[in-house]
Chain A
Amino acid sequence: MASTRSFILFLFIQFFFSFLAFSFAQSPATGSTEGYTIYGRVKIPSVGTKEYILPGKISNIKVILNGGQRVTFLRPDGYFSFHNVPAGTHLIEVAAIGYFFSPVRVDVSARHHGKIQAALTENRRGLSEFVLEPLKDEQYYEIREPFSIMSVVKSPMGLMVGFMLIVVFLMPKLMENMDPEEMRRAQEEMRSQGVPSLASLLPGAARSN
Chain B
Amino acid sequence: MAMAIRVFLILLLFLSSTNLGYSLYEDQVGLMDWHQQYIGKVKHALFHTQKTGRKRVLVSTEENVVASLDLRHGEIFWRHVLGTDDVVDGLDIALGKYVITLSSDGSILRAWNLPDGQMVWESSLQGSKASKSILYVPKNLKADKDDLILVFGKGYLHAVSGIDGEVLWKKDFAGESIEVTHIIQSADKIYVAGFFGSSKFYVYGLNADNGELLKNDHTVLPSDTFGELLSVSGDKFVVLDKIRSKIFTINIKNGEIRYKQKPISDLIKDSSGQAVILPTRLPELFALRIDSHVFIIKVTNEDDLVLVDKINNAASLSDALSISEGQHAFAFIQHESSSIHLFVKDVNDWSGDLLKESIIIDHQRGNIDKIFINNYVRTDRSYGFRALMVMEDHSLLLVQQGEIVWSREDGLASVVDVTTSELPVEKEGVSVAKVEQNLFEWLKGHVLKLKGTLMIASPEDVVAIQAMRLRSSEKSKMTRDHNGFRKLLIVLTRAGKVFALHTGDGRVVWSILLHTLRKTEVCEHPVGLNIYQWQVPHHHALDENPSILVVGRCGPSLAAPAVFSFVDAYTGKELKFLRLPHTIAQVIPLPYTDSTEQRLHLIIDINQRAYLYPRTPEAIDILQREFSNVYWYSVEADNGVVRGHALKSNCIQKVVDEYCFDFRDLWSIVFPSESEKIIATATRKSNEVVHTQAKVMTDYDVMYKYVSKNILFVANAAPKARGEIGTATPEEAWLVIYIIDTVTGRILHRMTHHGCQGPVHAVFSENWVVYHYFNLRAHRYEMSVVEVYDQSRADNKDVWKFVLGKHNLTSPMSSYYRPEITTKSQSYFFTHSVKAIEVTLTAKGITSKQLLIGTIGDQVLALDKRFLDPRRTLNPSQAEKEEGIIPLTDSLPIISQSYITHSLKVEGLRGIVTVPAKLESTSLVFAYGVDLFFTQIAPSRTYDSLTEDFSYALLLLTIVALVAAIFVTWVLSERKDLQEKWR
Contact = CB atoms under 8 A, between A and B. Distances in A.
Interface stretch (B142-150, B261-269, B828-836): B828-836
B759 A67 contact: yes
Contact of A163 (B4, B29, B776): B4
B25 A30 contact: no
Contact of A68 (B4, B26, B124, B833): B833
B121 A75 contact: yes
Given A95-B856, A100-B894, A100-B896, A59 B833 contact: no
Interface string B439-478: 0000000000000001110000000000000000000000
B578 interface: no
B220 interface: no
B963 to A, nearest CB: 12
Contact of A32 (B83, B128, B726): B128
B429 to A, nearest CB: 38
Contact of A93 (B7, B11, B856, B894): B856
B835 A68 contact: yes
A85 to B, nearest CB: 8
Contacts of A80: 122
A150 B174 CA distance: 77
Interface string B647-667: 000000000000000000000
A64 B781 CA distance: 15
Interface string B116-132: 11111110101111100
A194 B803 CA distance: 40
A139 B779 contact: no
B4 A140 contact: no
Given A68-B835, A147-B455, A140 B897 contact: yes
Interface stretch (A7-15, A40-48, A125-133, A181-189): A7-15
B780 A11 contact: no
Interface in A16-45: 16, 18-19, 30-33, 37
A93 B83 CA distance: 13
A146 B858 CA distance: 32
A96 B905 CA distance: 10
A59 B78 contact: yes
A200 interface: no
A11 B128 contact: yes
Contacts of B858: 95
B56 interface: no
A57 B170 CA distance: 34
B425 interface: no
A101 B859 CA distance: 14
Contacts of A8: 130
A83 B124 contact: yes
Contacts of B214: none
Given A83-B124, A142-B24, A157 B954 contact: yes
A15 B833 contact: no
A143 B903 CA distance: 14
Contact of A90 (B27, B124, B726): B726
A52 B969 contact: no
B126 A73 contact: no
B380 interface: no
A140 B455 contact: no
Given A30-B156, A141-B25, A168 B833 contact: no
A83 B126 contact: yes
A66 B724 contact: yes
A179 interface: no
Contacts of B12: 156
Contacts of B897: 139-142
A58 B727 CA distance: 31
B902 A67 contact: no
Contact of B3 (A67, A102, A147, A198): A198
A58 B118 CA distance: 7
A173 to B, nearest CB: 12
Contact of A103 (B128, B776, B780): B780
A159 interface: yes
B113 to A, nearest CB: 8
B856 A15 contact: no
A204 interface: no
B725 A90 contact: yes
A184 B217 CA distance: 125
A178 interface: no
Nearest to B759: A67
Most B Cβ at <10 Å: residue of A11, A71, A161? A71
A144 B1 CA distance: 31
Contact of B833 (A37, A72, A93, A139): A93
Interface string B162-190: 00000000101011010000000000000
Interface in B272-318: none
Given A95-B857, A141-B24, A72 B965 contact: no
A105 B110 CA distance: 26
B969 A168 contact: yes
B677 to A, nearest CB: 16
29 contacts: A19-B172, A30-B170, A31-B174, A59-B113, A64-B83, A64-B833, A66-B724, A67-B725, A67-B759, A67-B833, A68-B84, A69-B83, A75-B120, A75-B122, A76-B120, A80-B122, A85-B726, A86-B726, A90-B725, A90-B726, A97-B859, A100-B894, A103-B832, A138-B896, A141-B23, A141-B26, A147-B456, A157-B958, A159-B11
Interface of B: 1, 3-4, 7-8, 11-12, 23-27, 29, 78, 80, 82-86, 107, 110, 113, 116-122, 124, 126-130, 155-156, 170, 172, 174-175, 177, 454-456, 724-727, 759, 774, 776, 778-781, 831-833, 835, 855-859, 891, 894, 896-897, 899, 902-903, 905, 954, 958, 961-962, 965, 969, 973
Given A90-B726, A95-B855, A164-B962, 17 more contacts: A31-B126, A31-B172, A59-B113, A62-B857, A67-B856, A81-B122, A85-B726, A97-B903, A100-B894, A103-B780, A121-B779, A141-B24, A141-B903, A144-B25, A147-B454, A147-B455, A161-B961
Query: Which 3 interchain pairs have the tightest Cβ spacing?
Result: A95-B857, A83-B124, A71-B83
